[in-house]
Structure 1
C-alpha cells in the first residue's frame, strides 16, 4: 500500500500542470486572491512605440503574484497534511505568500530565510504568523534546511516554483490577461525559477498559440536563458544584481520542461535598465514596483521590440526595500541625465563659492546637496573641495551647464 502511495506521488510530481488545472485554480481562489488590474499606459506606449498594458500584480495581497501559488497549493492539502503544517524556503515574496495562506487555513507554518534576508521582509513574514528561522547565506542553504525540517516533522514543503499546483495557480494571470485583452500580441514575463512563466505559457498557448510570450531575466542570473540555449538545465549566475527576486542559479526541472517547449524567446536586461524602468514607473505612473517585477518593462523601454503591437508586461511584485528605493531615485535621475554630481576645487577665500553658485543659478539648475571639504589629504592648503549634487531638467541642460563651467575655467570633475 505504501509503495502504491509513493508511486502516486512520484507520478503526480512528474506530471506537468494542464490548462484544466489552471481553470481549477481560478475557481478555487476565493475572495483573498485579487484579480489585479490591467492598466493601459499612454506614457510607456509613447516611449516604446507599442500599446503597453501593465498587469499590476504588485497590487496583489502580500505585494506579489506568489500568493496565488501558495494559496492554491495549501488549499489542496488534505486534513491530515494540514495537521503537520507547511515549510518553505524564501528570501521574500514566496515567504510572505506561504505565511499568509497558512494563516488563512490556520495551520502551522515555518519559513527558512537566509541570514542576509531583508529585515523588512523578515518582519512582514512574521507579521503573517509564520515561524521564521534564519539559516545559511543564500537560497540553496535555506532550502536544504527546509527539506530537513520537512523530513523530520512531516510538514509539507511548499516549493517556490517547481510544483504543478503552484505553476497552475500562477497561470491564472494568463487567463485574466486574455479575459481583458483577448487580442494581445505579446506578453513579457519575468523569469527566476520559472513558475510564473510556465503557468502563463500554458494558459496563453492553449487559447491562442500565435500570442508571443517572452521571458525576461537579469543578465546576472541568466539560468533559464542558458538552459534553453544548451538544451538542458544549466547552473549559472551569481554576479551582484538588484533584482534579487529572480536571482535563481538553476531553474526548476518542471518549469524548464514547460518553458523550453512553449516560450517564444528569453531575453536579458541589466541593472541600469531595471533602475530606469523603476524610476519611470514611480515618476510617471506612481507605481512602486520591485526590481524583479519591472524587467519586462525595462526590456521594452531599452529595445522597443514590438512597434505598433498590443503588449502586456507583468509587474510581478512591489516589495521594495525602502533603503533601496532612495538609491533608485538618485540613480534614476542620474541615468536620465537629470542629476549631475561634480567635484570642484576652489581657492579658500570669501566669494569663491558664490561665483560657482551664480553660474549654476543662471543655468537654472537646482542645488540638491553640498559637501564642503578642507581636510582631506588630497586638498592643498589654501584650497577647498566642494562636491555638488545638482538637479537639472534633462541631458540638454546638464550638457549646457558643463560647457558653462568649462568656459569659466572652473576646475571640476564629473562624478556621475
Structure 2
C-alpha cells in the first residue's frame, strides 16, 4: 500500500499536541444494550463534541503571521463551536460561516466563545461558496472542518484512546458527515487490526457516494442529524477510507431517533441526533462484532429538538 496522506505517526503527534488540553473522554460499558458493547462518550469533550481535537492540531501548525490574519471556517455547529473556543484559547480572531436554519443553540454557543458568525448562506452548499468569498475578502486562514491532514490526525486521537482503554476491541462504529472523524479513527486503528465502520443517515450519505465514485460527490443533505449534514465527503476521507477498507452503512432518521431515545433513557447520555447514528446501526443489526465500541460523537442539541424526539414527535 502506498503511504497514506495521514499516517498513524501523524495521529500520535496530534495526541501529544492535545494531551493535557482536552478531556480524555470516558468509555462506558453498555452490556445492557448488547453483549460486548461500549460507548465512547465524546459528548463530554470540550465544546460538547470531538471537534476540538482537530482544531487544536490545526492551530498548532499556524505561523505567527497566519495567527495575525485570523481563521475562518464553515460548519453546521460543532466545528464552529470548537474553532471559536480554540481560537479564543490561542488569542486568534475567528469568523465562522454557518447558514440559515442552522441550530440556533449552536449559533449562540459559537458567538458566546467569541467568534463572529456569518449567516448569509441559505444551506450547506451555499455556505461553502460564501466561505470562498470571505476567504478572498478577508485573507483569513481556512481551518477545514473535515478535509485537512491536521483535522483528520486530531480526530484520530479518539481511536488511540479507544485502543488504550478497551481490551480486545474488534470493531469501532463511527457517525459520519464529511468523514474526518471516521477516517482519522481508521488511520489510528485499522493498522492495529481493528475494523472501523462509518454510519451515515440515508438522507446524507456523502461518504458512500464518494467511495462509489472514487472522489467527492456533491449531495444535498436532509436529515434530523444536522451534525452529519456535509454537502460532500472530503477528498482525504474518501482516499483514506477506500485504502483502509472502511465500509459504510446507512440508517434512517426514524432509526436515529429511536437510538437517541435509547441513549437518553438507558445510558443517561444527553446526545445530539448525529451522535446516535452509530448506535442505530448496531441496534438494527447492520454491524457485527464481539467487542464493539460505538462513538457517541457529540451532545450539542437544542432543547426543543431533544424534547420532540423524546416525545416521539
Instruction: Quote the residue 2:256 is aligned against.
Output: 274
| C-alpha distance in structure 2 between counterparts of 1:146 and 1:250, whole Å | 15
Residues 368-410 of structure 1, C-alpha deviation per residue, up to 9 Å, x if partnerless? xxxxxxxxxxxxxxxxxxxxxxxxxxxxxxxxxxxxxxxxxxx
Q: Secondary structure of the residue that 2:312 maps to in structure 1?
A: helix
Q: Any idea what SS the aligned residue of 2:305 has?
A: helix
Cα RMSD over matched residues?
Answer: 1.7
Aligned mates of 1:286, 1:280 — CA distance in 2:
9
When normalised by structure 2's length, the TM-score is 0.95
SS at match of 1:42: coil
2:63 matched residue in structure 1: 78
Determine the structure 1 residue equivalent to 2:238. Answer: 256
Change (3 A) 1:144 1:234: closer
What are the equivalent positions in structure 2 for 1:11-410 lying under 5 Å apart? 16-45=5-34, 50-206=35-191, 208-209=192-193, 211-238=194-221, 240-303=222-285, 305-306=287-288, 309-331=290-312
Cα distance in 1 for residues equivalent to 2:133 and 2:292: 43
Structure 2 distance, partners of 1:232, 1:120, is 33
SS of alignment partner, residue 20 of structure 2: coil
Higher Rg: 1
CA contact (8 A) 2:125 2:231 kept: no
Superposition deviation, residue 260 in structure 1: 1.2
Task: Tell whether the 8 Å contact from 1:214 to 1:263 is kept in structure 2 after alignment.
Answer: no
Alpha-carbon spacing, 1:264–1:145, altered in 2? closer, same or farther (3 Å): closer
Where relative contact order (Cα < 8 A, 6+ residues apart) is larger, the structure is 2
Partner of 1:343: none
**Cα distance in 1 for residues equivalent to 2:224 and 2:286:** 23
Runs of 4+ in 1 over 6 A off after TM superposition: none
1:29-72 superposed Cα distances (whole Å, 9 cap, x missing partner): 14331110111112212xxxx31100000110000001111111
5+ unaligned residues in a row in structure 1: which ranges?
A: 1-13, 333-416
Structure 2 CA distance for aligned equivalents of residues 248 and 284 of structure 1: 29
Name structure 2 gaps, 5 residues minimum: none
Shift of 1:90: 1.2
